[in-house]
């Protein structure tokens, strides 16, 4: 008995914002953003859309693919760094109610941009343990709402979107292994410093920027290349294969230069790595399911192929999943 992905879908908001659009209000340029990141445009959620709204759209798409009523779902897990509310209630509980998953438990998972990788392993483990039959695993982000739009070092990098997978027994693509890691010593490299119990927001001391994304870009870059290389090597070793045997590596879509550097270190051609960050930018926990959905739409996935996902981000967290498509 193995846990499988029986359906996968993504939803991105309609509004497209190009680099040139950003350059009208921020001191940046299409040339800088493209040459330093590979990003050309991103989607930005409508003012009335929060993380749960995007998650609900993608959850409905996944259930429709399986023609499955929502009350057949046993557990909803949402990975998000940009939840509707500060910590509670969970995005997952809102999704559980709005889609009509009346029998399901629900919780959120916080693992930064590695969130979907972690959530997929949670889904796999629950199903393989036999305690539930179906887990809806979702990554959903409205990062542009926690972005500091005066900080050109970060604001050009992020976009909004959601993706979801339904995990159930022997019904699709097997999740073979996962590798979940954390380097918490890098906690300050990617952080929203104020607003939590460590540093409650104090209007006398803090500005809005203290509640928004702050990143040591260089440090995260170096960590990300290592994390990508190590995750590919470790998952391949565990399966007793070489990285050349993997059909597709689906990395977290942060920056093309991170992916190029990792490809070089692994001695793999760049075309073995799927990228769509040029169109969607960094959507954190949503980027991997959005990428896999895109691959499905483009007809790139064939039965039997080995697909290796890799996430890396705040925590600092990293890791991956090996999937037999
Ligand atoms: O999801 C995981 C989290 N994030 C990541 O994976 C991001 C990891 N880091 C990176 O991708 C890169 O470090 C960045 C894309 C964030 C930055 O690229 P970089 O090549 O390391 O640029 P830099 O920080 O070294 O900055 C170079 C210059 C600076 O100017 P000075 O000080 O040399 O005059 C920046 O002020 O580029 C300037 N700069 C910009 N210029 C135009 C930074 N952002 C911009 C911008 N437009 N948007």
* pLDDT tens digits for range 20-34: 999 999 999 999 999
- Contact predicate 147/273, CB 8 Å: no
Q: How many domains are contained in the chain? A: 2
State the residue range of the domain holding 24.
3-172
Which residue out of 155, 252, 255, 321 is catalytically annotated? 252
Residues 87 and 167 reside in one and the same domain? yes
> Catalytic one among 113, 173, 255, 321?
113
Q: Residue 143's pLDDT is what?
A: 98
Which residue puts its alpha carbon closest to atom 36 of ligand 1? Answer: 153
Question: 236 and 148, same structural domain?
Answer: no
**In this structure, which residue's CA is closest to atom 2 in ligand 1?**
313
Give residue 160's pLDDT.
98
Rounded CA gap, 116 and 131, in Å? 21
Query: What residue's CA is closest to ligand 1, atom 3?
Result: 313
d(CA 318, CA 311) in angstroms, rounded, equals: 5
* 121 CA to centre of ligand 1 in angstroms: 32
Averaged pLDDT of the chain: 97
pTM (2 d.p.): 0.97
* Boundary of a domain, candidates 122, 145, 172: 172
Structure confidence at residue 18 (pLDDT): 98
Distance (angstroms) between ligand 1 centre and the Cα of 153 equals: 5
pLDDT for res 314:
97
Same domain, 137 and 216: no
Where does ligand 1 bind, in terms of residues with CB under 6 Å?
A: 28, 32-33, 36-37, 113, 152-153, 156, 190, 217-218, 220-221, 224, 254-255, 258, 282, 313
In angstroms, rounded to a whole number, what is the distance separating the alpha carbons of residues 220 and 234? 20
Catalytic (active site) residue 113: yes
- pLDDT at res. 292: 98
User: What pLDDT, on the 0 to 100 scale, is given for residue 135?
Assistant: 98
| Ligand 1 midpoint to CA 108 (Å) | 31
Q: Among the three residues 172, 198, 226, which one is the final residue of a domain in this structure?
A: 172
Q: Which of 147, 217, 277, 291 to mutate to test the pocket of ligand 1 (most atoms within 8 A of CB)?
A: 217
What residue ranges in 222-272 does DSSP mark as E strands?
248-251
CB-based burial label for 119 (10 Å; 0-12, 13-18, 19+)? buried
Query: For residue 217, how far is its CA from the centre of ligand 1 (angstroms)?
Result: 6
pLDDT at 87: 86
**Residues 242 and 146 occupy one common structural domain:** no
Residue nearest to atom 25 of ligand 1 (CA): 218
Residue at which a domain ends, from 118, 146, 172? 172
Q: Check if 236 is active-site.
A: no
* pLDDT score for 237: 97
What's the pLDDT at 170? 86
Question: Same domain, yes or no, for 167 and 229?
Answer: no
Residue 36 is among the residues annotated as catalytic for this protein: no
Ligand 1 mean position, distance from CA 216 (Å): 9
- C-alpha 281 to ligand 1 mean position (Å): 14
Residue 284, domain CATH: 3.40.47.10
Q: Name the DSSP class of 158.
A: B
Q: Which residues of the chain have pLDDT under 50?
A: none
**75 shares a domain with 162:** yes
Instruction: Return the pLDDT at 1.
Output: 72
DSSP run (H or E) holding 164: strand 160-169
Closest ligand 1 atom to the C-alpha of 287? 1
Whether 193 and 168 map to the same domain: the answer is no
**Do residues 46 and 194 both lie within one domain?**
no
- C-alpha angle with apex 164: 42 to 115, nearest 5 degrees? 75
Q: How many residues in the chain?
A: 325
pLDDT at residue 144, rounded to an integer: 98
């Amino acid at each position: 008995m193995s846990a499988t992905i029986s359906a996968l879908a993504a939803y991105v908001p309609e509004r497209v914002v190009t680099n040139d659009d950003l350059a009208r209000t921020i001191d940046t340029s299409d040339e800088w953003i493209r040459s330093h990141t590979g990003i050309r445009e991103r989607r930005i959620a409508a003012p009335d859309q929060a993380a749960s709204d995007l998650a609900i759209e993608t959850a409905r798409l996944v259930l429709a693919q399986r023609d499955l009523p929502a009350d057949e779902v046993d557990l909803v897990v949402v990975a998000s760094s940009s939840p509707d509310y500060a910590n509670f209630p969970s995005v997952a509980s809102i999704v559980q109610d709005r889609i009509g998953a009346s029998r399901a438990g629900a919780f959120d998972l916080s693992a930064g941009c590695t969130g979907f990788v972690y959530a997929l392993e949670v889904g796999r483990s629950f199903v393989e343990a036999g305690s539930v039959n179906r887990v809806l695993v979702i990554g959903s982000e409205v990062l542009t709402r926690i972005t500091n739009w005066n900080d050109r070092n970060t604001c050009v990098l992020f976009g909004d979107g959601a993706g979801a997978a339904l995990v159930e027994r022997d019904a699709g693509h097997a999740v073979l292994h996962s590798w979940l890691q954390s380097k918490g010593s890098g906690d300050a490299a990617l952080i929203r410093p104020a607003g939590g119990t460590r540093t409650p927001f104090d209007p006398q001391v803090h500005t809005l920027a203290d509640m928004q994304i702050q990143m040591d870009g260089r440090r995260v870059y170096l960590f990300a290349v290592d994390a990508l290389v190590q995750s590919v090597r470790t998952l391949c070793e565990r399966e007793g294969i070489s990285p050349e045997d993997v059909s597709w590596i689906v990395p977290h879509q942060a920056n093309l230069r991170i992916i190029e550097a990792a490809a070089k270190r692994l001695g793999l051609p760049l075309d073995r790595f799927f990228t769509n960050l040029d169109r969607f930018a960094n959507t954190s926990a949503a980027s991997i399911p959005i990428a896999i959905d895109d691959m499905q739409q483009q007809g790139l996935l064939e039965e039997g192929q080995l697909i290796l996902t890799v996430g890396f981000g705040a925590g600092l967290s990293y890791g991956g999943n090996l999937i037999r498509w």
